[in-house]
Amino acid sequence: MPTPSPRRTRLRWRIAAAAALVGGLLLLSAGVAGAQAFPPEAVSEEGSDIRNLYILVFFLAAAVFIVVEAAIIWLVFKYRRRDDALPPQIHGHRGVEILWTVIPSIIVLVLFIVSFIVLDDIESAPGEYEPVEVIDVTAQQWAWSFYYATPMDATTSVRISDDPADVELRVSDGSLFEPFKTYRIDVEHIRVDSIEGNILTVARGVNGTVVQHHPAGEEILRITNGTEVSQDDRGELTDSIDPSSGAVTTMNTPIVTVPVGKTVRFNISSLDVIHSFYAPQFLYKLDAMPGRTQALWLKVTDAGFFQGQCAEFCGREHARMLFSVRALPLEEYDAWLAALVAPPPPAEEAAPADDAGDDASMDEGDAADDAGDTDAADDSGDAGAADIGAGTDPALELGTSRYGGPAAPAGLPTHLAGMTAPRAGAL
């Protein structure tokens, strides 16, 4: 049917309106994209590398996006139907087809090489003699626990547990630990020199040794370097200050304290389901897999408070599985850790008498007492920890802050407070 000209005019007007709409949308999206086209500023060396790679990919992608979308819009207007004549029947053109196979290939190859270099860089472990801070990150529904390692001698005795029933430790193949054998547990090597009661004397391989609470008969899945300190450092921290308004934010989330400028090895594992250790400003995440311990290397470059959150769906309270990162300058970090490890003041010494002797690991039962040290050391009054220390839920005894879950009390001010702790500078 030939089209009458008034209809054609109307059609043109409609097309123009459509064009304005599409163009407007694209402009709008470009404008909105300007607001948030990049991830947050990185606060670690690895994060900066990743962010730089992101920026490279972004500009390549933006160029392709703009050129292709503009070309499509141009095609739409340039070649809209004007008459009923049959357009030239072009079936293809080998030259241009080869060209537009080769060009994406080159782009993809460049991206692969650059990505590979960055990947190699951020994934590589630090040199053998580079000092490394080891922090164990244990995820569980729905909490984070952070354990800090302190230096120890080449051969050390480690108390496993105060419970005499807890000595029957097993390695991954289900067999019992035996003296004078070397075990590889995840990324660590240890040699068990002797077993006496519930004290293992072990020699370190790369770094690390056996610690913590292990119920009888269960295999050891996770080990840290040296004397372990569980940190239940949560609640009533007032250190998060919005630089612009000066407003003080209370953060009731578990806090992992890290040194600035020293490589940290996070040993990440999970006690139940899969979680993911993710702080947006690290631009990095690693899944916490049950049954495995995996290492994430990071060198934090900026002091401050950063928000973190479980990124892998982990059940009911997944949205509330938050944590905070507190990055301290190295000297402050060392002082903080030393105070955390220091023996309890004389007044309290009677209580943890069972913990005397050997370079014993901090026992879970002592979490409440340690919290006292923590308070003294870094100014955080910690009423929550005291409750936890006396907790009846075995999971709570790990010195974690646990929120939600079937056993948790109803009405959870802790996580809600954490939920509303905004990250400065977002969007």
Site residues (CB under 8 A) for another protein, limited to 208-247: none
Q: How far is the CB of 47 from another protein (least distance, A)?
A: 8
Stretch that binds another protein, among 84-92, 146-154, 256-264, 340-348 (CB under 8 A): 84-92
> Least separation, in Å, of the C-beta of 279 and another protein?
8
Nearer to another protein, 51 or 159 (CB): 51
Q: Which among 77-85, 144-152, 344-352, 372-380 is the span making contact with another protein, rule CB under 8 A?
A: 77-85
State yes or no: residue 141 binds another protein (CB under 8 A): yes
CA–CA separation, 83 and 61 (whole Å): 37
Interface pick for another protein out of 284, 305, 323, 336 (rule CB under 8 A): 284
By CB under 8 A, how many residues form the interface with another protein?
A: 110
Q: Interface with another protein includes 283 (CB under 8 A)?
A: yes
**Is 291 in a helix, a strand, or coil?**
coil
Nearest to 82 by CA among 20, 12, 13, 18: 12
Choice from 4, 7, 101, 197 touching another protein (CB under 8 A) = 101
The pair of three-digit structure tokens given for residue 103, joined into one six-digit string:
């060009």
CA distance 40 to 279: 10
- Interacting positions 292-331 with another protein (CB under 8 A): 292, 294, 307, 309-320, 322
Cα–Cα distances (Å) from 116 to 112, 113, 123, 193, in that order, read 6, 5, 10, 42
Residue selected from 84, 95, 124, 410 as contacting another protein according to rule CB under 8 A: 84
Q: 320: how many CB neighbours lie within 10 A of its CB?
A: 19
Q: How far is the CB of 40 from another protein (least distance, A)?
A: 7
- Strands 143-150 and 294-299, bridge-based pairing: unpaired
In SS3 terms, 13-39 reads as HHHHHHHHHHHHHHHHHHHHHHHCCCC
Burial (0-12, 13-18, 19+ Cβ within 10 Å), 183: buried
Q: Of 275, 338, 355, 281, give the one whose Cα is nearest residue 311.
A: 275
In the complex, the smallest distance separating the C-beta of residue 360 from another protein, rounded to whole angstroms, is 28
| Pair of tokens at residue 336 | 């903080």
User: Hunting for tokens 């009923």 — which residue is that?
Assistant: 84
Under rule CB under 8 A, residue 93 binds another protein: yes
Query: Which of 48, 118, 195, 344 is in the footprint of another protein by CB under 8 A?
Result: 118
426 counts as binding another protein under rule CB under 8 A: yes
Tell which one of 48, 111, 203, 391 touches another protein (CB under 8 A).
111
Pick the binder of another protein from 171, 195, 199, 274 (CB under 8 A).
Answer: 274
Q: Decide whether 17 or 206 has the Cβ nearer to another protein.
A: 17
Comparing CB distances to another protein, the nearer of 191 and 423 is: 423
Cα-Cα-Cα-Cα torsion 378, 382, 386, 391, nearest 10 degrees, comes to -110
**Least distance CB 214 / another protein (angstroms):** 14
Residues 20-59: x where in contact with another protein by CB under 8 A, - otherwise, as a string: -x---x---x--xx-xxxxxx------x-xxx-xx--xx-
Determine if 272 is a binding residue for another protein (CB under 8 A): yes
Which one of 100, 206, 215, 342 is in contact with another protein (CB under 8 A)?
Answer: 100
User: CA angle, corner 107, sides to 101 and 110, nearest 5?
Assistant: 135
Name the residue among 255, 297, 304 with its Cα closest to residue 281. 304
Residue 252: strand, helix, or coil: coil
144 exposure class (CB count in 10 Å sphere: 0-12, 13-18, 19+): buried
Residue among 307 and 380 whose Cβ is closer to another protein:
307
DSSP label of 233: -
The CB-of-73 to another protein minimum distance in angstroms stands at 8
Give the residue, chosen from 6, 31, 406, 409, that forms a contact with another protein under the rule CB under 8 A: 406
Binder to another protein among 9, 105, 182, 238 (CB under 8 A)? Answer: 105
Q: Which of 51, 299 has the CB closer to another protein?
A: 51
Rounded CA separation 384/402 (Å): 11
Contacts of another protein in 57-76 (CB under 8 A): 57-58, 60-61, 64-65, 68-69, 71-72, 75-76
Among the listed residues 16, 108, 247, 342, the single contact to another protein using CB under 8 A: 108
**Cα–Cα distance measured from residue 188 to residue 226, given in angstroms and rounded to the nearest whole number:** 12
Which helix or strand (DSSP H or E) is residue 121 part of?
A: helix 94-123
- Rule CB under 8 A: choose which of 5, 90, 392, 411 binds another protein: 90
Complex with another protein: residue 1 or 154, whichever CB lies closer: 1
